[in-house]
Amino acid sequence: MANRKLVAGNWKMHGTAESIGEIVRIAAGVPTGVDVALCLSATLIERAARAVPGFAIGAQDVHSMERGAFTGDVAAHQLHDARASFVIVGHSERRDGHRESDTQVRAKAVAAQGAGLKVILCVGESLEAREAGCAISIVSAQLDASLPPSPVEAVAYEPIWAIGTGRIPSLEDIGEMHAALRSRLIAAYGAAGNVVRLLYGGSVKPSNAAEIFGVADVDGALVGGASMTAADFLPIVEAAAES
Ligand code: PEP
C-alpha cells in the first residue's frame, strides 16, 4: 500500500512576525488525506506553533549534542520545547555551506529522535555526479552513512542542482533514484524501511507537483521557494492529497 504523502515546506532564512498570517492561511487550507509541515527559522517556531495549534511546525537544523558550549546552536530538546515536531537534517545548504559530514548528519538525526522530533533526512547529488552517471551510487552511499539506527520519518532526495534553479530531473530519473533509496532503507531497517516516506525536493511547483507525485515511491515533497505562500504551496499540497 502506498504511504500517506507528506509535503514539508522549508522556509530557509525567511520569515518574521509578519509571516504568521501566511502560515495561518496555509494551515487553514490543508485538505484531509495528506500530512503537511512547515520548517521555519528557530526564531519563528514557537510563535507559529501557537498560532496554528495542531499543525506541524519544524526546524531546519539541530545540534547533535544535548547541551553545552555551542554558541549559536540549538539543541533538539530546545526545539521540542519550542513546539517543533519535525526537523530537517543534512540539507545540502548545511552539508555544503557548513561542511557537515554524513557522520554529523547521522548524529543530528539521533539527537533529534532522542528528543521526540520527526526527522527529514536530506541526500542528493551534485550536477557533476549526475553528469558523470554516478548519482545513484553517490546518493545511496550518502544515505547509508547518514541514516540513524532507528527509522527516520522521511528521506528527502534533493539533487543539489535542482534546488532553487527551476530544473528538475526527468521523472524516470526520480523514479530510479527513489527505487534505489527504498532498497537502501529496507536494507537498513527491514520492513520498516517501506514506511519511511521518500520525498522529492528541488524546484517543486504547482505546475509540476502532480506529475512528480505520480512517480512510484514518491511519498511527498520537500518544497523551498514555493512553500512561502499559500497561493503556491496549497496547490502542491492538494496535488499530493489527490495523488
Ligand atoms: C529546498 O530548499 O529544500 C528546496 C527544495 O528548494 P526549492 O523548492 O526552492 O528548490
Instruction: Write the pLDDT tens digit of every residue in 41-56.
Output: 999 999 999 999 999 9
- Quote the DSSP letter at residue 89: E
Query: What's the mean pLDDT in 179-203?
Result: 97
pLDDT score, position 110:
98
Q: Is 28 exposed, middle or buried (0-12, 13-18, 19+ CB in 10 A)?
A: exposed
Q: How far is CA 176 from CA 58, 137, 160, 187, in A?
A: 29, 12, 17, 17
The CB density around residue 223, as the number of other CB atoms within 10 Å, is: 28
pLDDT score, position 171:
98
Query: pTM score > 0.85 for this model?
Result: yes
Among candidate residues 70, 145, 81, the one with its CA nearest the CA of residue 109: 145
Q: Which of 14, 223, 229, 233 to mutate to test the pocket of ligand 1 (most atoms within 8 A of CB)?
A: 223
Q: Which residue's C-alpha comes closest to atom 8 of ligand 1?
A: 224
Q: Which of 6, 7, 10, 127 to mutate to test the pocket of ligand 1 (most atoms within 8 A of CB)?
A: 10
pLDDT score, position 79:
98
The reply to whether 77 belongs to the active site is no
pLDDT score, position 29:
97
Q: Could you identify the residue written with the cell 515536531? A: 85
Q: What is the pLDDT of residues 158-185, one digit of tens each?
A: 999 999 999 999 999 999 999 999 999 9
Query: What number of helices (H) and strands (E) belong to the chain?
Result: 10, 8
Q: Which of 100, 125, 158, 238 is catalytic?
A: 158
Q: What is the pLDDT of residues 65-111, one digit of tens each?
A: 999 999 999 999 999 999 999 999 999 999 988 999 999 999 999 99
Q: Which residue's C-alpha comes closest to atom 3 of ligand 1?
A: 224
pLDDT score, position 88:
98
Q: How much is the mean pLDDT over the chain?
A: 97
Q: What is the radius of gyration, based on Cα positions, of the chain?
A: 17
Query: What's the mean pLDDT in 126-145?
Result: 96
Q: Which residue's C-alpha comes closest to atom 6 of ligand 1?
A: 224
Enclosing H/E stretch for 184: helix 171-189
Q: How confident is the model at residue 2 (pLDDT cuts 50, 70, 90)?
A: confident
pLDDT at 1 over 80: no
Which residue ranges form the domains of the chain, and what is each CATH number?
Answer: 8-227 (3.20.20.70)
Burial 138-174 (b: 16+ CB within 10 A, else e): bbbebbeebbbeebbbbbbbbbbbbbeeeebbebeeb
Atom of ligand 1 nearest to the CA of 158: 5
Q: Which residue's C-alpha comes closest to atom 7 of ligand 1?
A: 224
SS3 per residue for 6-59: EEEEECCCCCCHHHHHHHHHHHHCCCCCCEEEEECCHHHHHHHHHHCCCCEEEE
The reply to whether 211 belongs to the active site is no
Among candidate residues 218, 217, 198, the one with its CA nearest the CA of residue 208: 218
56 and 94 Cβ atoms separated by less than 8 Å: no
Strand partners, 220: 6
Query: What's the mean pLDDT in 125-133?
Result: 95
pLDDT score, position 49:
97
